[in-house]
Amino acid sequence: MKFIDEFRDPHLARVLVETLRQHTRQHLRLMEFCGGHTHAILRFGIRALLPPDLEMLSGPGCPVCVTSPAGLDHAIALAHIPGMIVATFGDMVRVPGSRESLQNSRAGGADIRVVYSPLDAVALAEKNSSRPVVFLGVGFETTAPGVAASILQARQHGIKNYFVLPLHKLTPPATKAILDGGEVKLSGILGPGHVTTIIGTDAWTFLSEQYGVPIAVAGFEPLDILRGISMLVDQVNDGHARVENAYSRSVLPQGNRTALAIMNEVFETCDAEWRGLGVLPGSGLRIREKYAALDASKTFPVSLTPSHEPPGCRCGEVLRGILSPVDCSLFRHTCNPENPVGPCMVSAEGACMAYYQFGEKRLED
């Protein structure tokens, strides 16, 4: 498979690792922002290849994980409205809200459909014209433009029963919050390759300019990840923090202007609550007044009882990079994919799920 297999070449990977080992001269703490990076690093066994002085922390880059309990409860409340069809990405279905998950609500008669694209949800709306279809708009800047496009398409085609519950979040504010929080001293950040395909590397210049933190934007194949880490190590050795692009086949400085324009046509920024990070100003997206008719949060008022984190859940600390999944006392015995306490163990992008699935211990070769 082109552009996939070549970037999994074991020989080139070994070379990159060798170079990394030679260049790592001090203890470094790098945050892989993306759940996708955590997943790939563990799945391919990259973690075992890295020199022991290179510590990788997982960050808040899991859109399902960072959806607040209130957001989740809102989605579940919508699911309980008689006649409602809730269309969602698969990951959301098993995440526990304050009282139940979407999956539990199915048992109570809710109609939940897993879709692969907001366009599938639009098609559902067309097919079931007498019933409202709400698509759960979860995801970062990679996903938001597509959801925006689906809203435009529904309007264009006169589809009156398609709605979106806007739960999208923006990644630069979360990165700021992690650094501002000062809980963890980062030597560098492995940046999200697909988010940056949309927002462009220019969106990350604040990291070097305001925080002096190196960032290398990387794709998700092993060679991409190793190259990104390599760039960070070299930046630290240089002492010169900047924004580097290790995913130049997909990422441009200006990003994808068409996608950004579509996103901005439908959405505007707002404050948003992140699980683990609290309310971050300007970190979320809400639907503009112009498209209020397709906004599920406006069209279907729901009364929500107070939301809360699952008791004992430490997902927030995992998402801030200050707790490794394996150090959480609930990990594995109490909290596991069959009986998840929090979202990090449910979402395929969740750090806890990745550590559970691919083995939390480094194997001695």
Among residues 6 and 209, whose Cβ is nearest to other proteins? 6
Among residues 131 and 298, whose Cβ is nearest to other proteins? 131
153 Cβ contact partners less than 8 Å away, ≥ 6 residues apart = 119, 122, 159
Q: Is 131 exposed, middle or buried (0-12, 13-18, 19+ CB in 10 A)?
A: middle
Among residues 33 and 331, whose Cβ is nearest to other proteins? 33
Provide, rounded to whole angstroms, the least separation between the CB of residue 89 and other proteins. Answer: 4
Contact assessment for residue 357 and residue 330, using Cβ atoms and an 8 Å cutoff: no
Contact assessment for residue 325 and residue 351, using Cβ atoms and an 8 Å cutoff: yes
Provide, rounded to whole angstroms, the least separation between the CB of residue 336 and other proteins. Answer: 6
Provide, rounded to whole angstroms, the least separation between the CB of residue 231 and other proteins. Answer: 11
Between the CA of residue 259 and those of 125, 264, 275, 290, what are the distances in Å?
24, 9, 27, 19
Pairing type for strands 162-166 and 188-192 reads: unpaired
Q: For residue 213, which of 165, 170, 246, 176 has the smallest C-alpha distance?
A: 176
Q: How far apart are CA 15 and CA 9, in angstroms?
A: 10
Among residues 151 and 313, whose Cβ is nearest to other proteins? 151
Q: How far apart are CA 99 and CA 146, in angstroms?
A: 31
Among residues 7 and 274, whose Cβ is nearest to other proteins? 7
Among residues 302 and 357, whose Cβ is nearest to other proteins? 357
Provide, rounded to whole angstroms, the least separation between the CB of residue 63 and other proteins. Answer: 5
Q: How far apart are CA 243 and CA 234, in angstroms?
A: 12
Provide, rounded to whole angstroms, the least separation between the CB of residue 305 and other proteins. Answer: 27
Provide, rounded to whole angstroms, the least separation between the CB of residue 255 and other proteins. Answer: 8
Angle between helices 222-238 and 10-23 (to 10 degrees): 20
